[in-house]
Amino acid sequence: MTEKRTAIESLNIGLPRKEIFQDREIFTGICKRPVSGPIGLGKTGFEGDGVGDLKHHGGFDKAVCVYSMDHYPFWEKLLGIRLPAAAFGENLSLSNLLEEEVCIGDIFDLGTAIIQVSQPRQPCSTLAARYGKTDFIKLVIDSGRTGFYCRVLQEGIVERESPFTLREQDSRGITIAFANHIYHHDRTNCEGLRRVLDVPALSESWRHSFHELIKKCE
């Protein structure tokens, strides 16, 4: 049997600019473009990349946005369109790595850089505006096809052909799918909330949200 190998299908960057979505002007970095590299990856992200909404995107815990291109056919059928590159504003469009398979705290080699999974990606209103569906946030959450964010443990250089290789799997086994389920659909599951909070690599923003939720259990 051939071993499944995760691959970078597209490496994407873009600085924030004004975009017109459904007659609405938004300052955003969601419309990224594929590049071949080499590109430097620092603690807050790739060179030549940026976000428009610094309150909800970017920073050390959200330096790299990752999304699976295996989800693209699902969304193309639902939306009735051919999706553009970096359709979800992701930096890395990967194949063969799903939310059920990757855990918060997992560490990956990315080119000469090292990154660590920090939290699920939360869909935003800009994504909904881009595709003209007011219910798109709910659709993404309910589907579980959210993608995830990573922090940078070691800065380095990344190319489109760079391997994306698991270096260390977090022993707690809290998948992106599990964290999504607890946060969005099972918020009174105190044991589940504690299991997610027990992961040291969990981002500060999600840690704060889970602390607020667990107060209701006590």
- Centroid of chain to Cα 10: 14
Per-residue pLDDT of the chain (218 residues; tens, 9 = 90+): 346 789 999 999 999 999 988 888 989 999 999 999 899 999 999 999 988 766 666 789 999 999 999 999 999 999 999 999 999 999 999 999 999 999 999 999 999 999 999 999 999 889 999 999 999 999 999 999 999 999 999 999 999 999 999 999 999 999 999 999 999 999 999 999 999 999 999 999 999 999 999 988 76
Residue with tokens 């639902």: 78
Q: What would you measure as the largest C-alpha separation in the chain, in angstroms?
A: 51
List of domains in the chain: 7-170 (2.40.33.20)
* pTM of the predicted structure, to 2 decimals: 0.94
Write out the DSSP string of 57-119. S-SGGGSEEEEEGGGHHHHHHHHTSPPPTTTT--SEEEES--TTT-BTT-EEEETTEEEEEEE
Pairing label, strands 92-95, 64-68: parallel
